[in-house]
A and B are shown apart, each in its own frame.
Chain A
Amino acid sequence: MTGRGMLIVHVALLALLWVLQFVLPPFHHGMVARILVLAAYAIGYNVLLGYTGLMSLGHAMFFAAGVYGAGLLVYYSAAGAVSGLLAGVLAGLGLAVILGLLSLRTTGATFLLVTMMFGQVGYLLTLYFNRITLGDQGLILSGRLEPLRVGAIDVTLSNPAVRFNAALLIFGLCLLLSLWLARSPVGRVLVAIRENEERTRMLGYDTFRYKLFALVLSGGICSLSGAAYALLFAYVGNTFASILYSIYPLLWTLLGGAGTTFGPLAGTALMSYAIDVASGLTSAYLMVVGLVLVVTILWFPSGIVGSLRARRWRWLP
């Protein structure tokens, strides 16, 4: 399929999601807004896992960098949503550069462990600076965020309609960024590194620099998602820095299909609704989640969208 064709397919999906807000009942309206922001997080994770072949267990640190970068600024100063968003993304980008220079000397299981250690350091820092972050109790941003002024209209982020469309905007931006990456010459090199790094070096590519680029792009997208999450749902807490939030994007990405542009949304949506349905039935809802994962890995090892690509639509980016 041509580049224009793929762009149309992606924009069509975004249009479909936009229409959803007019048909969904209030509960699902809020749920989908949350899924969209978290799917952006999964897209960022997928840049590293799906397209570059590096599995991290420390990405909560990037999500939390966005959450705290945006949240603390808004909580402790008169800064608005836009400055908060910028602060969150800058924190994530800076962190990604430092982490990349330190951890990208390793690959495979060592990389997994090194990123997990850094992720835990991030979590412990939120406790150490308890007086500022209030640790696991967290900070409520409600009432502290000035309405955004767009022309003559005041926009309140806590308004459900605004929240949904802001979430969709963030998600759409990340989705189109990942589509660009999948089709760009840089993305082709990242896939080559995933498939065979040594061969890629012998084609004349400085693979370290490409991996660093991938990690910084990934960290940037994840922190954008974290910053948006803090601002839209008005809460900053250190669960977002915990190992659970490093495992989530891994599961969402594997479930939806690593190395596909639609996979992160599919995985995030399916997992969120599975947890929602299961927790209504039993308090052991994580067991249901586990079952979904086992089934996926047994029958759809390349994830939902990955299997669709393998069996039906080979053009899927």
Chain B
Amino acid sequence: MAVAALTARGSLLQTLGLTRTFGGLQAVRSVDFRLLPGEIHAIIGPNGAGKTTLVNLISGRLAPDAGRVFFNGRDITHLRAPDRVGLGIVSTSQSISIYRRLTVFENVALAAQRRLMQRLAERVALNRRALAEEVAASLDRVGLGGAADATAGALPYGHQRLLEIAMTLALRPRLLILDEPTQGLAPDEIGALVALIRRVARDVTVLLIEHNVTVVLELSHRITVMDKGRILAEGAPDEIEAHAEVQRVYLGA
């Protein structure tokens, strides 16, 4: 097929002509976007540039009006969000999305048990020890090891963000999509989160929407700049910093 030839080899994720309209507003206009395996890739741009819409089209929260999405060479355009999670596309939303009334353990267990309950017998009764180990490992990775019995909604804001990341890690993602992860965090928490994302990125490809320019320049291998639903520029951090039009539109220089 011609489309197969169009998808570049070596990319983990690729979109072709992706378009989404809300009423009269074209939030994402014919976007061709590529993610390389192993990279930390940031999408930046002013408010309303279409960043969140683009990642929602990738995660399956939204369906496109036109265009295609390929993951690992497979056309996933019509795959529903839960099935994309099964392929390893895991995302967090802009506002922290956890089960506030459940314990920290239960929150992570929900993510961890998904892989453990493939067969009918495992749906009926799960290996509790294996589950507990999975949960503990995910909580330890984000530094919440001691908080397993706390009620999620009672955690400090920064810890809720870490819990959300622990849940995504328990799903064993291949592509992790983070929508403004540093929003609302204190400066020292941001530093810890940047270190965590870098550790995670050793074996997971990370796609990041982020307003904090310092974080973006520090973390990313590549940056995509969006404006008015289109890709304005793409490149390594130093190239983006030097890009005249980007400076005009976004960096405000």
Contacts and interface: CB of A to CB of B under 8 A. Distances in A.
A204 B85 CA distance: 5
Interface string B96-108: 0111111000100
Nearest to A206: B82
A201 B81 CA distance: 7
Given A185-B113, A188-B110, A188-B113, A203 B102 contact: no
B2 interface: no
B239 to A, nearest CB: 33
A28 interface: no
Interface residues of A, number: 21
A186 interface: yes
B122 A185 contact: yes
B101 A195 contact: yes
Nearest to A213: B123
Contacts of A186: 123-124
Given A184-B126, A185-B126, 11 more contacts: A180-B124, A185-B113, A185-B123, A188-B109, A188-B113, A192-B99, A192-B102, A199-B97, A203-B167, A204-B114, A204-B171
B102 A191 contact: yes
A203 B123 contact: no
Contacts of B99: 192, 195-196, 199
A98 to B, nearest CB: 24
Nearest to A198: B97
B111 A203 contact: yes
Contacts, number: 65
A203 B125 contact: no
Contacts of A203: 82, 85, 110-111, 114, 167, 171
Contacts of A205: 82, 114
Contacts of A200: 110
B117 interface: yes
Interface of B: 59, 61, 80-83, 85-86, 91, 93, 97-102, 106, 109-111, 113-114, 116-117, 122-126, 128, 167, 171
29 contacts: A180-B124, A184-B126, A185-B113, A185-B117, A185-B122, A185-B125, A186-B124, A188-B109, A188-B110, A188-B113, A189-B110, A191-B102, A192-B99, A192-B110, A195-B100, A195-B101, A195-B102, A200-B110, A201-B82, A202-B61, A202-B91, A202-B93, A203-B82, A203-B110, A203-B171, A204-B86, A204-B171, A205-B82, A206-B83
Interface of A: 3, 180, 184-186, 188-189, 191-192, 195-196, 198-207
A199 B101 CA distance: 14
Contacts of B123: 184-186
A192 B114 CA distance: 13
B168 to A, nearest CB: 9
Given A196-B99, A202-B97, A188 B82 contact: no
B124 A184 contact: yes
A3 B128 CA distance: 10
Nearest to B80: A206
Contacts of A192: 99, 102, 110
A175 B114 CA distance: 26
Contacts of B113: 185, 188
A188 B106 contact: yes
Nearest to B167: A203
Contacts of A199: 97-99
Given A184-B124, A188-B109, A195-B102, A204 B82 contact: yes
B166 to A, nearest CB: 12
Nearest to B59: A202
A206 B113 CA distance: 14
Contacts of B122: 185
Nearest to B88: A204
Nearest to B117: A185
Nearest to A209: B82
Nearest to B86: A204
Nearest to A3: B128
B81 A202 contact: yes
Given A186-B123, A188-B106, A188-B109, A202 B98 contact: no
A179 to B, nearest CB: 12
A202 B85 CA distance: 7
Contacts of A202: 59, 61, 81-82, 85, 91, 93, 97
A317 to B, nearest CB: 13
A182 B86 CA distance: 25
Q: Which one of A180, A188, A204, A205 has the highest number of Cβ atoms from chain B below 10 Å of its Cβ?
A: A204
A191 B97 CA distance: 15
B212 to A, nearest CB: 24
A180 B114 CA distance: 18
A207 B110 CA distance: 13
A227 B114 CA distance: 36
